A = this chain, B = another copy of it.
């Protein structure tokens, strides 16, 4: 399929920054953007602000690039705002990569920001005048909770076993997040506390859900052949793919809540672009969209890390732990960071940037050279899935 055409090794990331995530009442979106950009420029001494040729801003909090222009005083540089639900940050990054690969600019910046705590946006389902009304009133936790009974039924997992799996996933991500100074939640709830947390929807407790947060992250993209002029450890882009579901829709009686077809398809294309045939072996670690614990479970199978129906056993066995075979969400994930929509995709990439340049401190995984990010938007039955694959070698 043509949609797996590749820009493999055309472009690379040469610097990144990421703010503290959390309830940042004393900081505006402008403050957060400036902070992320300053950190990013700080790691690329050869570049100043005015060397950035064009920007892609991922946010749901503006209808244009103007807030970034005003925050940074960018003169009349091109700024384009993109939004694709919770995959918005990754879309800003993808657009930057295409512009550089096209030769339209030399130095592009992708930046994602959201200030959710002030805006009263308490959930992830946003009113949308041109979509049909189905499910508009159902919250994200309720929709994702429907994975649980579907998975149990299909694979003969008991309710008690499933509770242990979901608890294990939340516990693992909080363990990782406790090692991350930028995470919103740095506490380590024990398994009893997670399992006993108040119910939000279906079998999901509050500690199965990611939180609402403020935050920003940014990346500078240049062509791969110039990347080593700017930094010692460029992050080379091996694959970028987006799949948007046209959806049977969540309400369809045929809809199977144990898989996201969009993730399967975007992963298939990304592996094809990157030349990866055994993802479970060839990917060293991954940052995935753990908006709810059952989401992470299903993603392990959709991304090809676990066989169908065995993701739950792999999770329980610790395969995705920081010291496991294939660490997942070493930075603590959405679980520890919360989910400022436009920022999350770039926050995932930031962990890849740190790990592949051997700068992840207490969380550093040894001997890693290939990583994946998977950023999901929407809900089971109608979603958009981004998969990016990154490597420390120019290829």
Q: Which of B3, B53, B82, B244 contacts A2 (CB 8 A)?
A: B53
Residue interface mask A69-103, B partner, CB < 8 A = 1: 11011111111111111000001001101111111
Structural contact, A103 and B101, CB atoms closer than 8 A:
yes
Structural contact, A384 and B64, CB atoms closer than 8 A:
yes
Given contacts A5-B103, A240-B104, contact A126 B63 (CB under 8 A): yes
Q: Separation in Å of the A26 CB from the closest CB of chain B?
A: 16
Structural contact, A76 and B265, CB atoms closer than 8 A:
yes
Copies of this protein in the assembly total 2
Structural contact, A5 and B53, CB atoms closer than 8 A:
yes
Does A29 interact with chain B (Cβ within 8 Å)? yes
Q: Which of B80, B107, B129 contacts A115 (CB 8 A)?
A: B129
Q: Is the interface of A mostly helix, strand, loop or mixed?
A: mixed
Instruction: Count how many chain A residues have C-beta atoms less than 8 Å from C-beta atoms of the other chain.
Output: 79
> In the complex, what distance in Å separates the CA atom of A63 from the CA atom of B59?
10
Structural contact, A64 and B79, CB atoms closer than 8 A:
no
Structural contact, A77 and B244, CB atoms closer than 8 A:
yes
Structural contact, B101 and A54, CB atoms closer than 8 A:
no
Structural contact, B82 and A246, CB atoms closer than 8 A:
no
Structural contact, B247 and A69, CB atoms closer than 8 A:
yes
Q: Separation in Å of the A323 CB from the closest CB of chain B?
A: 35
> In the complex, what distance in Å separates the CA atom of A87 from the CA atom of B378?
26
Interface centre among A6, A126, A131, A240 (most CB of B within 10 A): A131
Structural contact, B79 and A81, CB atoms closer than 8 A:
no
Does A394 interact with chain B (Cβ within 8 Å)? no
Structural contact, B30 and A130, CB atoms closer than 8 A:
yes
Does A40 interact with chain B (Cβ within 8 Å)? no
* Closest chain B residue to A132, Cβ basis: B70
> In the complex, what distance in Å separates the CA atom of A47 from the CA atom of B5?
18
Residues of B within 8 A of A102 (CB): 7, 10, 97-102
Does A266 interact with chain B (Cβ within 8 Å)? yes
Structural contact, A84 and B80, CB atoms closer than 8 A:
yes
A79-B242, A79-B244, A80-B95 known; 17 new pairs, CB 8 Å cut-off, are: A2-B107, A6-B103, A10-B103, A63-B126, A67-B128, A68-B244, A69-B247, A70-B131, A75-B246, A76-B261, A77-B244, A78-B244, A81-B83, A95-B98, A98-B99, A98-B102, A118-B129
